[in-house]
Amino acid sequence: MEPTTIENFRQALWITVRSMAGLFVFMGMFILLIPALFKLFPKKKDE
Amino acid sequence: MEGLFAGLLYMTWKQLVMIGFGAILIYLAIRKEYEPALLLPIGFGAILVNIPFSAAIDQGATEGALSIFYRAGILTEIFPLLIFVAIGAMIDFSPLFRKPVLILFGAAAQFGIFFTMMVATLMGFNLREAASIGIIGSADGPTSIYVASQLARNLLGPISVAAYSYMSLVPIIQPPVIKMLTTRKERLIRMDSNPREVSRTILILFPILVTLLAGLVAPVSVALIGFLMFGNLIRECGVLNKLSLAAQNELASLVTLLLGISIAATMTANDFLRPSTLMIIGMGLLAFIFDTAGGVLFAKFFNLFLKKKINPMIGATGISAFPMSARVIHTMGLKEDPTNFLLMYAISANVSGQIGSVIAGGMILALVH
């Protein structure tokens, strides 16, 4: 295998780790945010 | 006389193959109804650009209409972004609030994107091309086009065709993968219902908060997520109903048409008929398979820590193909147990997949240089 291919794969692997972690952190923030939104803005009767 | 029949005299076998390919896309769009709004314009465009000396594309110094559309709408990213406004206006995010933990599947089911990116590098594609191929796994046509137009314009044609074709094949791709990774007992898991009333304020705040959060995490994703959420804000604000309907209908139809036919400008025989095209089509399938596997396996892993288990099939709906994927899982659930209704949860995870795919696109744009 060519060194460029190995280097590209290594970078792709690193991007995978960072992106998947980033995605979970981002979605995790929403899981925390949603209960807070429900507390702050409960549905009113007239809505 | 020769000038009159120049098209016929100079037709190459490659152009004939591409015209045949265009005809197949039109057939699939009409007879099989595989994403007709996109595949039909792409198919017809493929015919237009492969007629020798076609005036639809640039010929030397003479500009062609499709090439102009391509430069004005795709290279500037205007068409995909306008499609995002239309999609945003179509999405109802309220199912997300029913069981917030399902949002995580919108992250897990993006795994196929990154797995395929790694495979593509091993097959000799450079990092930018590999990332553009991987993004087919977002199961989100506009995101695929947006990312590919920034990172690998040379592959835009095959990537778009693969993305839209596999999106319509979700009902065929997902069930065998899910069955392979789950036991019948797991597929029979029932989930308790938790209907929650969502206030209008939350629905209005949601697109603004998502844009802010996404912007802070990956500023490069702001255009992508911002236009999607702008469309959603138009829908939820309650004072722009006419605009919301226009975005969902007229804007979506017109821009889809222009997007499809403009992409075809890249599908000339010399650019499209390469071994790499077949590889991209193959890797697109791989991306969808590993998206599904990522979602299902994450659900199984998650269940190790939960008292009330999640049906792992729900994990597969974390992709962006909405509502197709949710329907597939709902139907699979009903086949196992006709009284087990998974649709509500499947829809929740499926909606989170729509956000996840766009964020994944943003991550790729931020990290791939």
- Bridge partner list, B62: B59
Task: Mention every residue, 6+ apart, whose C-beta is less than 8 A from residue A39.
Answer: none
3-state secondary structure of B50: coil
Put simply, whether B201 touches A (Cβ < 8 Å) is: yes
Which chain B residues are within 8 Å of A21, Cβ to Cβ?
none
Nearest Cβ partner for B114 among A16, A34, A41: A16
| pLDDT at position B193 | 66
The two structure tokens encoding residue B348: 């929740």
Q: Which residues of B257-274 are buried (b: 16+ CB within 10 A; e: fewer)?
A: ebbbbbbbbbbbbebbbe
Instruction: Categorise residue B340: left if φ over 0, alpha if ψ from -120 to 50, beta otherwise.
Output: beta
pTM score, two decimals? 0.86
ipTM of predicted assembly, 2 dp: 0.92
| pLDDT at position B267 | 87
Chain centroid offset of residue B68 CA? 24
Distance CA B213, CA A29 (A): 9
| pLDDT at position B215 | 86
| pLDDT at position A47 | 62
Instruction: Identify the CA nearest to B41 among candidates B138, B154, B161, B122.
Output: B161
| pLDDT at position B207 | 93
Q: Which residue has the higher pLDDT, B219 or A15?
A: A15
Q: Largest Cα–Cα distance in chain B?
A: 81
Put simply, whether B118 touches A (Cβ < 8 Å) is: yes
Instruction: Identify the CA nearest to B4 among candidates B37, B52, B49, B41.
Output: B52
Give, for all 369 residues of chain B, the pLDDT tens digit: 556 677 777 889 999 999 999 999 999 999 988 888 888 999 999 999 999 999 999 888 889 999 999 899 888 889 989 998 998 999 888 888 888 899 999 999 999 999 999 999 999 999 999 999 999 999 988 899 999 999 999 998 889 888 888 887 898 899 999 999 999 999 999 987 666 788 899 999 999 998 998 888 778 888 888 999 999 999 999 999 999 999 999 999 999 899 889 888 888 998 888 899 989 999 999 999 999 999 999 999 999 999 889 999 999 999 988 888 998 999 999 999 999 989 889 988 998 998 899 999 999 999 997
Which of B 209-228 lie inside 8 A of A, CB atoms? 209-210, 213-214, 217-218
Do the chains contact at B202 and A41, CB–CB below 8 Å? yes
Q: How far is CA B225 from CA B70, B133, B233, B362, in A?
A: 22, 20, 12, 8
The two structure tokens encoding residue B138: 């977002």
| pLDDT at position B259 | 87
Which of A 4-43 lie inside 8 A of B, CB atoms? 4-5, 8-9, 11-13, 15-16, 18-20, 22-31, 33-35, 37-38, 41-43
| pLDDT at position A46 | 64
| pLDDT at position B32 | 87
| pLDDT at position B272 | 87
